[in-house]
Amino acid sequence: MSDNKPSDPTSDPAQSVPEGAIETKQIISAESGPAAPVPDAVKEAAQERPQAAAAQPQPAAAGGFKAADDSAPWPQTWKLIAARFRALSDKAGRRMMQRTLKIGISARIFHPEEGAKGLRGRTLQYLEESIAQWVMSRNVLVFMIPTVNTNGLVHPSSIRLRDYAKHLDGLVLQGGADVSPQSYAQAATRPEWGGDRVRDMYELELLHEFIEAGKPVLGICRGCQLINVAFGGTLYQDIATDVPTSIKHVNDEYDRLHHAIQFPPGSSLATLFNAHGGEQSEWVVNSIHHQAVRDLGRDLTVEAISGSDNIVEAIRYRKASFVMGLQWHPEFHRAGGPQLLDCTPILDGFLRAARETRF
């Protein structure tokens, strides 16, 4: 038992220590017996508490609290979130731009022959090999787009042509049968020029859906004529009959028949090919058509004409980023020899528009 008397609180030198330090001292005394001298570290901590208290949020004029440090955590957090979002968006954009393009090509239709057996007695939809290979030469995926029938009794489906326009990046309208005069409100002047009304209705809808979706369209031969009809234009049902002074645009030589074309000054094709090959007045293309654009449809411009008879050889729709029709077959040009127009720049322009509008 110690002979020392308990310290008198009123006379203890620690009386001047702040309240927090006194509480610490009293806890120590209660557990250990008589009060021990207060450690210097405790004294220093007690002296710092008023300064820490001064750093606490002070009441703002509007009744809230205002942080003494202006660098609050929320602005920094939002900056980090925004930076992360931009990084993810840029990454997604790069992936989208690098994704292989998916190009749809309209189907040719073989209608059943009366009394025929086997495949000739069935409806066939097919893709001409050369057009597919020409488009794929730029390392893109090609899909033939079949006709759709939501009212089919055997195999009903809810798939529509609009779904193809939504998921594909562009459309090529391939060549084939004549456009029916019924599609531009005329009657066929000869039975053999009646055309394919069924295919017209299918491709007109397909063209409409891709334009509505903001996707590029390239029409080849019949496809060029169909674009003109879609916008209210008409056709020569037979060039040789309707334009007696014209040159031959089709004969038994098929893709070996060639003629010269010209690009009107100011046309996009004139600008494109002058940039690639210098100033030139004429280019040579194949000629495999007995029908052609007659009255130009609304909002269309002429991009090329036949050099000697002024038959329209290419058109463009002005109110879209890329809707163009070529009367010749660019897919046959490389095989036709070096003298034929290299149409790769046209294909590249079409695919560039597909990349830019895929979003």
Q: Are 303 and 315 in contact (CB under 8 A)?
A: yes
Q: Are 354 and 169 in contact (CB under 8 A)?
A: yes
Q: Which residues are tagged catalytic?
A: 221, 329, 331
Minimal CA–CA distance to 243: which of 279, 290, 205?
A: 290
DSSP 333-353: HHHH-TTB---HHHHHHHHHH
What are 325's strand-pairing partners? 219, 315
Minimal CA–CA distance to 353: which of 323, 317, 313?
A: 323
What are 124's strand-pairing partners? 110
Rg (CA), the chain: 40
Minimal CA–CA distance to 226: which of 217, 213, 215?
A: 217
Tell me the three state secondary structure of residue 312: strand
User: Alpha-carbon distance 206 to 288, whole Å?
Assistant: 24
User: Alpha-carbon distance 246 to 311, whole Å?
Assistant: 8
Cα end-to-end span (Å), the chain: 90
